[in-house]
Amino acid sequence: MPPNPYILAADSPEALVTLLRQDRSLATGQDEHGYSLVHAAASYNHLDLLRTLIREFSVPVDLKDEDGETALFVVETVDAARVLVEELGLDAKLANDEGMTAREKIESEGELPALVEYLAGLELGHAGTNGVVNGDGPSYLDLPPAPEGVRVTMGTMDEAEASGQQPDPEFRRRIEELASRVDFETPEGEAQLRQLVEESILGGGGLSEERSVRPRQE
């Protein structure tokens, strides 16, 4: 009996690639439910196999199963989602037969919050790798530390509204403009950022602040 490609996709990706090179027609095959080797590779987080299926064997990255779901619906890691979308060009906004995107489907299951956050960023037009948003520049996670004696905390727009804070649109515009500059990570860029943070804190801008009070030395 010939080996089952789907079992090999789960347990032995290298053996599967060898098999596919012997019979390339297997690469685009789907079972009775439309489940494909692309779905399997994404589900089991076999990223090299995923790349090989698309690039070497020309399997459509947007191949759908019987429910109209691409491989993005079965991923369990941000890395697998990133390979599908950012490397292989899968549209994260594709919906299944129920009209749900992969993010909506995964979110409805109440699991994998990091994956849901990443997919939500894709739908809004920005993703995340170490805080970088689809090449749009550093995020707040990458900002230099606040001035000594000051601790700065940031939240989402919803969190700010819930706490009675009103985010300053001008501050947000200025910090995003600074973050998009090519010299952002240079000493000059960091100095300008620190100045902006100081101005915002002193002027009650879009950041909340907590000053550390040192005991007086007698």
Predicted confidence at residue 65, as pLDDT, reads: 97
Measuring CA to CA, which residue among 31, 28, 1, 26 is closest to residue 16? 26
Mean pLDDT confidence for 130-139 = 39
CATH code linked to domain 5-123: 1.25.40.20
Place of tokens 């690639």: 17
Predicted confidence at residue 95, as pLDDT, reads: 97
Let me know: does 101 contact 123? Beta carbons within 8 Å: yes
The token pair at 99 is: 């009209």
Question: Dihedral sign, CA of 104, 106, 109, 111?
Answer: negative
* Confidence class for position 22, pLDDT limits 50, 70, 90: very high
Q: Reply yes or no on whether the pLDDT at 136 is more than 70.
A: no
Question: Which of 91-105, 119-133, 160-174 shows the highest mean pLDDT?
Answer: 91-105
Measuring CA to CA, which residue among 103, 206, 115 is closest to residue 155? 206
> For 75-100, what is each residue's pLDDT tens digit?
999 999 999 999 999 999 999 999 99
For the ranges 23-32, 49-58, 139-148, the lowest mean pLDDT is seen at 139-148
Task: Provide CATH 1.25.40.20 ranges for the chain.
Answer: 5-123
